[in-house]
Amino acid sequence: MAKPISIEVWNPSGKYRVVSTKSMPGTRWIRLLTDQDCRVEICTEKKTILSVEDILALIGNRCNGVIGQLTEDWGEVLFSALKRAGGSAFSNMAVGYNNVDVNAANKYGIAVGNTPGVLTETTAELAASLSLAAARRIVEADQFMRAGLYDGWLPHLFVGNLLKGQTVGVIGAGRIGSAYARMMIEGFKMNLIYYDLYQATRLEKFVTAYGQFLKANGEQPVTWKRAASMEDVLREADVISLHPVLDKTTYHLVNKERLAIMKKEAILVNASRGPVIDEAALVEHLKANPMFRVGLDVFEDEPFMKPGLAELKNAVVVPHIASASKWTREGMATLAALNVLGKIKGYPIWGDPNQVEPFLDENSPAPAACPSIVNAKQLGLPSSKL
Ligand SMILES: NC(=O)C1=CN([C@@H]2O[C@H](COP(=O)(O)OP(=O)(O)OC[C@H]3O[C@@H](n4cnc5c(N)ncnc54)[C@H](O)[C@@H]3O)[C@@H](O)[C@H]2O)C=CC1
Ligand SMILES: O=C(O)C(=O)CO
């Protein structure tokens, strides 16, 4: 028999049973659900990553919707169980949903929500932080200082890379990639080269206008280029940040051969998903090229790192915290809860999943809509007229 799972219950007499597989930041998301007749059950197990069996136990025999996490394996087993329990809604508390088998959800008529928009700037800021930390060797220098090794200023001590006037490369210039590019261009006057399947028109316009502004003020203008291939970005850029979705086309996008064409002193940042880089090949490349540096927020076998990575001084590593600002994490919880609530209540789908501010305004009621349902079209769900 499955071990009972510990839970915390809000509004026990609520008509609709909504389960959250984790406690999430803030309380607004709970209030939004309980105000609309939901009984909210939050899993309080100490275990960080819940197994499919744990989640099956949480779903039980009657469950209208689940808010889940990117660490969980949402496929056939869980969606069929949710359907049997009378459920119709699932939302990841994340924008990325590579942990979700959307085809399986479609098969059981379950709506799949995600949380775009609210984490764009926060995630881009962490990618920018990693770029700076790697360029200026901040973590190495911090460790040196704490180890009591500093005995005076030296001309060669922790010399790193200047960003101004260099080229920033972005692979995947969507919401986060474009926000990151703007930060690096505006903040450090870097030139841009990017690769995406689609043209990033707004980003291009921004760089053109900013370049004109700099020129008018007697400064060197910044430039942009849309690369015809990813290899062009890898060859030309001094700092490269990866921001694509993880799917079949981006798995091991950066591999041994592609690392080999990058500049010897380049900086590579990954705040997308770990498997976008072949991490074992990266470890070998970092060992062979001590001036090549990386900033990693995500890892191929999370929570683990590939052998050797932790020992390398030219790698800055942080534990998948790119979206970890208070405002963003509370907003993600709100959007995930409203996705589930909206589907249970039969609300339509919000017209633009990138314009989510109305859902985040604590001083007005949330719109009666689902902020972002990735399989809305496949399920034939109606769009909001708001
Ligand atoms: N480390 C973290 O905490 C976070 C990670 N993420 C990751 O970042 C990803 C991107 O998020 P958003 O910018 O909001 O998504 P988005 O959908 O706005 O941008 C993704 C971009 O990748 C491009 N793309 C897809 N396949 C490609 C390929 N083969 N080559 C080049 N470009 C390709 C798309 O055309 C799109 O422009 C998420 O899917 C998620 O996995 C997102 C938030 C936080
Ligand atoms: O939203 C996502 O995709 C994340 O990785 C969480 O920060």
Which of 121, 180, 231, 245 has most ligand 1 atoms within 8 Å of CB, for mutation?
A: 245
Q: What is the pLDDT of residues 214-230, one digit of tens each?
A: 999 999 999 999 999 99
Judge contact between 264 and 238, C-beta under 8 A: no
Average pLDDT of the segment spanning 48-54: 97
Query: Which residue minimizes the CA distance to atom 14 of ligand 1?
Result: 175
Residue 318, pLDDT score: 98
Residue 3, pLDDT score: 67
Q: What is the pLDDT of residues 175-201, one digit of tens each?
A: 999 999 999 999 999 999 999 999 999
Q: pLDDT grade, residue 384 (50/70/90)?
A: confident
- The sheet with strand 111-113 has its strands ordered as 7-10, 38-43, 16-20, 65-68, 89-92, 111-113
Q: What is the pLDDT of residues 265-287, one digit of tens each?
A: 999 999 999 999 999 999 999 99
Judge contact between 258 and 277, C-beta under 8 A: no
Query: Which residue minimizes the CA distance to atom 6 of ligand 2?
Result: 94
Residue 353, pLDDT score: 86
323 Cβ below 6 A of ligand 2: yes
Average pLDDT of the segment spanning 230-234: 98
Residue 167, pLDDT score: 98
Please give the Cα distance from 337 to 41 (Å, whole number). Answer: 12
* 373: helix, strand or coil: strand
Please give the Cα distance from 104 to 185 (Å, whole number). Answer: 41
Vertex 76: Cα angle to 23 and 46 (nearest 5) = 25
Average pLDDT of the segment spanning 50-58: 98
Q: What is the pLDDT of residues 318-360, one digit of tens each?
A: 999 999 999 999 999 999 999 999 999 999 999 998 899 999 9
Residue 204, pLDDT score: 98
Please give the Cα distance from 363 to 7 (Å, whole number). Answer: 30
Share of the chain above pLDDT 70, in %: 99
Share of the chain above pLDDT 90, in %: 97
Average pLDDT of the segment spanning 10-18: 98
Q: Is 273 a catalytic residue?
A: yes
% helix, strand, coil for the chain, step of 5: 35, 15, 45
Residue 4, pLDDT score: 76
Q: What is the pLDDT of residues 73-94, one digit of tens each?
A: 999 999 999 999 999 999 999 9
Q: What is the pLDDT of residues 111-167, one digit of tens each?
A: 999 999 999 999 999 999 999 999 999 999 999 999 999 999 999 999 999 999 999
Mean pLDDT score of the chain: 97
Q: Is 186 a catalytic residue?
A: no
ipTM confidence = 0.99
Please give the Cα distance from 136 to 164 (Å, whole number). Answer: 13
Q: Which helix (H) or strand (E) holds 358?
A: helix 357-360
- Active-site position among 273, 285, 293, 329: 273
Distances (CA, A) of 36 to 338, 344, 356: 11, 10, 20
Residue 386, pLDDT score: 62
Please give the Cα distance from 131 to 59 (Å, whole number). Answer: 41
Judge contact between 169 and 234, C-beta under 8 A: yes
The pTM of this model reads: 0.97
